[in-house]
């Protein structure tokens, strides 16, 4: 029971649903416009040369050029930072560019990362094939192999990266334990929490130091716009060791600025913007930032429906004769069921992986015959989405890599939407009927 005596001194800072609608924006500074304006501009007038110099020297805040920052995009950045409980954020043109900028802000050639093996296929390729071209090597560890993360850390390791719930097999990283391993080694834990959104999990509360999102997915929800973001927790001490000299020593690219000394809990974001965004340039367009903001306004409402529909679909699939197995953290025999209760108290998410009896051919027939569920390479849309990873998102992997990533040929990845649950089930019945007789049913 709440102690009424303490209520007067309870903080009155805005809560999640209010922040989803308001954070980062002050109408009185924008002609009273209730909606966030779209600042469709490349650049911003300087008052005089002194003002210009002040902005370039980071003497004062403000905008110079929309590759570096933009007022509409800044509202989105603050909004997501507030929802995550972070100090600062930097929005990017996609989730992949958020991961790339995070790595390039953290690492230099010769550095090493420890990475969860169960990731989106594009992320696997970035870590396995592309980053080595920049001299950054990675060791992959299965997400449930907590001790393996510790063993994989080398002298030149600069961080641990993983998806909180791995794509597409729904394996959870034990974030509290892995963050302790990272912090004992003096390195940050970076978590891709795209599947959860801050409504389901705020990774900073479980030891993460940097969170990345593809905002394209549940955060936006509407499937209209590409966007990504990196968010800083502000708790990581970059000065605790000599592993991060570009954060802690004078940086030639900014008049000898030491990001950690000058900006402390926002140092990583400041560096990612001042160096990474300036030099690589994967900026988010103001129109897309605005589109994502529209989605975030209803984030908690949508996530509740996503999760309740997903739990209904789990029950339906578990009882279906055409289904060989179902993977979702809500299933009691899921290996991470208890961990998910702790890390995802508001719902276990709307991503389900299931195996269809009949293997690859049955999977292909199912995918080709559902009509309401959309077959496409995205997740987290308000509409229900399905894909056969082995022939789609992860098709660039060889057999051994597929196996290491926890994939099988009978696996179907389902992103449950917020349609009427009966309509989704009815649609799946059509798919399952076709899967039983794959050669006899048209795929038109």
Q: Is 281 in the site for another protein (CB under 8 A)?
A: no
The DSSP H or E segment spanning 27 is none
Per-residue binder mask for another protein (CB under 8 A), 222-261, x = binder: -----------xxx---x--------------xxxx---x
Pick between residue 51 and residue 144 the one whose CB is nearest to another protein. 51
Considering the complex, what minimum distance in angstroms separates the CB of residue 8 from another protein? Answer: 8
Where in 157-196 is the site for another protein (CB under 8 A)? none
Pick between residue 33 and residue 391 the one whose CB is nearest to another protein. 33
Q: Is 4 in the site for another protein (CB under 8 A)?
A: no
- Maximum C-alpha span of the chain: 75
Q: Which listed residue (15, 31, 61, 155) binds another protein by CB under 8 A?
A: 61
Considering the complex, what minimum distance in angstroms separates the CB of residue 194 from another protein? Answer: 19
Q: How many CA atoms lie within 13 A of 440 on its CB side?
A: 6
Q: What stretches of 117-235 adopt beta strand conformation (E)?
A: 137-141, 157-163, 189-192, 210-214, 228-232
Q: Which listed residue (4, 28, 155, 439) binds another protein by CB under 8 A?
A: 28
Q: Which listed residue (60, 133, 155, 439) binds another protein by CB under 8 A?
A: 60
Closest CA to 316 of 235, 437, 427, 201: 427
**Number of chain positions touching another protein (CB under 8 A):** 58
Contacts of 132 (CB under 8 A, 6+ apart): 138
Burial class (CB in 10 A: 0-12, 13-18, 19+), 350: buried
Report the first-to-last Cα separation within the chain, whole angstroms.
59
Q: Is 29 in the site for another protein (CB under 8 A)?
A: yes
Considering the complex, what minimum distance in angstroms separates the CB of residue 304 from another protein? Answer: 24
Considering the complex, what minimum distance in angstroms separates the CB of residue 162 from another protein? Answer: 23
Pick between residue 213 and residue 413 the one whose CB is nearest to another protein. 213
- State how far the Cα of 56 lies from the Cα of 46, in Å rounded to an integer: 11
Q: Is 263 in the site for another protein (CB under 8 A)?
A: yes
Q: How far is CA 330 from the centre of its chain?
A: 20
Q: Is 210 in the site for another protein (CB under 8 A)?
A: no
Closest CA to 276 of 129, 66, 68: 68
Q: Which listed residue (38, 52, 58, 441) binds another protein by CB under 8 A?
A: 58
Pick between residue 73 and residue 323 the one whose CB is nearest to another protein. 73
Q: How far is CA 150 from the centre of its chain?
A: 23
- State how far the Cα of 410 lies from the Cα of 365, in Å rounded to an integer: 11
Pick between residue 73 and residue 373 the one whose CB is nearest to another protein. 73
Q: Is 55 in the site for another protein (CB under 8 A)?
A: no
Considering the complex, what minimum distance in angstroms separates the CB of residue 166 from another protein? Answer: 28
Beta bridge partners of 251: 257
Pick between residue 2 and residue 13 the one whose CB is nearest to another protein. 13
What is the rounded (10 degree) CA torsion for 81, 83, 84, 86?
Answer: 40
What DSSP character marks residue 165? Answer: B
Q: Is 59 in the site for another protein (CB under 8 A)?
A: yes
Backbone angles phi, psi at 156, to 5 degrees: -100, 15
Q: Is 42 in the site for another protein (CB under 8 A)?
A: no
Question: Interior CA angle at 40 toward 378 and 79, to 5°?
Answer: 60
Considering the complex, what minimum distance in angstroms separates the CB of residue 9 from another protein? Answer: 5
Pick between residue 167 and residue 214 the one whose CB is nearest to another protein. 214
DSSP line for 209-267? SEEEEETTTTTT-SS----EEEEE-S---TTSSSS-HHHHS-BGGGTTB-HHHHHGGGH
Q: Is 40 in the site for another protein (CB under 8 A)?
A: no
Per-residue binder mask for another protein (CB under 8 A), 69-108, x = binder: xxx-xxx-xxx-xx--xxxxxxx-----------------
Binding site for another protein (CB under 8 A): 6, 8-9, 11-14, 22-26, 28-29, 53-54, 57-63, 69-71, 73-75, 77-79, 81-82, 85-91, 233-235, 239, 254-257, 261-266, 269-270, 273
């Amino acid at each position: 029971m709440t102690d009424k005596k303490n209520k007067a001194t309870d903080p009155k800072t805005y809560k999640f649903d209010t922040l989803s609608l308001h954070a980062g924006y002050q109408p009185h500074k924008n002609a009273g416009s209730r909606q966030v304006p779209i600042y469709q501009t490349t650049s911003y007038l300087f008052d005089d040369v002194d003002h210009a110099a002040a902005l370039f020297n980071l003497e004062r805040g403000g905008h110079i050029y929309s590759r570096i920052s933009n007022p509409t995009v800044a509202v989105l950045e603050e909004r997501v930072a507030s929802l995550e409980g972070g100090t600062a954020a930097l929005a990017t043109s996609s989730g992949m560019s958020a991961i790339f900028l995070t790595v390039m802000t953290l690492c230099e050639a010769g550095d090493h990362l420890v990475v969860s093996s169960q990731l989106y296929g594009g992320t696997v390729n970035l870590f396995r094939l592309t980053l080595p071209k920049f001299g950054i090597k990675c060791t992959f560890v299965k997400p449930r192999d907590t001790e393996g993360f510790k063993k994989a850390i080398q002298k030149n390791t600069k961080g641990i990266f993983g998806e909180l719930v791995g794509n597409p097999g729904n394996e959870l990283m034990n974030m509290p334990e892995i963050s302790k391993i990272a912090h004992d080694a003096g390195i940050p834990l970076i978590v891709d929490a795209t599947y959860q959104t801050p409504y389901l999990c705020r990774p900073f509360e479980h030891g993460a130091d940097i969170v990345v999102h593809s905002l394209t997915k549940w955060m936006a929800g509407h499937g209209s716009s590409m966007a990504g973001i990196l968010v800083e927790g502000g708790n990581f001490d970059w000065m605790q060791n000599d592993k991060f000299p570009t954060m802690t020593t004078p940086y030639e690219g900014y008049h000898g600025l030491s990001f950690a000394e000058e900006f402390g809990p926002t140092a990583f974001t400041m560096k990612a913007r001042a160096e990474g965004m300036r030099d690589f340039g994967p900026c988010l367009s103001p129109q897309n930032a605005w589109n994502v903001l529209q989605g975030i306004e209803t984030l908690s409402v949508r996530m509740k429906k996503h999760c309740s529909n997903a739990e209904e679909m789990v029950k339906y699939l578990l009882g279906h004769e055409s289904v060989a197995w179902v993977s979702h953290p809500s299933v009691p025999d899921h290996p991470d069921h208890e961990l998910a209760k702790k890390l995802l108290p508001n719902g276990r998410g709307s991503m389900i992986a299931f195996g269809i009896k009949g293997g690859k051919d049955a999977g292909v027939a199912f995918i080709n015959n559902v009509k309401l569920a959309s077959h496409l390479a995205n997740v987290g849309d308000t509409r229900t989405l399905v894909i056969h990873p082995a022939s789609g998102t992860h098709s660039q992997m060889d057999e051994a890599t597929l196996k290491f990533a926890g994939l099988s040929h009978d696996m179907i990845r389902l992103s449950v939407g917020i349609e009427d649950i009966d309509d989704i089930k009815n649609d799946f019945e059509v798919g399952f009927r076709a899967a039983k007789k794959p050669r006899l049913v048209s795929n038109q």
